Structure 1
């Protein structure tokens, strides 16, 4: 007689992979970064292009860096609202980029 682990565990792991975790994407065939240049006081717009076996997808990110000094860390904000302006001076309560940049070099 098989133990529970031998009999049911593989079946449950397969169900989890299919219904919870999903399948991993294949390794990309190509990966490029396009630095679109300065788009604000201390911001760069970077486009990441990923080419896979079926299609190509891209993501755009805005990189804000302090005007001077050596940054002491990184702050990542996923902006689903579209409320972060292209200029670091366009801070909002939701994304206080000016305060973050000021603190990035002073710690």
Structure 2
């Protein structure tokens, strides 16, 4: 006869929540939002940043994880401060993480 196992609600909550957001996806969303807000075309920003439009497109779609040099080149081409972009990306990751963990307790950040 089979044993009845107790239902572990914490484990179920962990499995049910959304996966952690990826940094490269949040970065890509932020870069695309800035570019579109400025009315820039992808090819123009890529040219100013010294990269191919295909590579910038993959970065914006969260498919590629760019080096710090590439991020600096794109922010320079967009005329935005790296610190401002990083703050926007961090806020996006926090919001998405919090939304995925609503059922499993608070998100703790190290001070």
Shorter-normalised TM range: under 0.3
What TM-score do the two structures reach when normalised by structure 1? 0.25
What TM-score do the two structures reach when normalised by structure 2? 0.25
Structure with greater contact order relative to length (CA < 8 Å, sep ≥ 6): 2
Q: Going by fraction, where is helix more abundant, 1 or 2?
A: 2
Q: Going by fraction, where is strand more abundant, 1 or 2?
A: 1
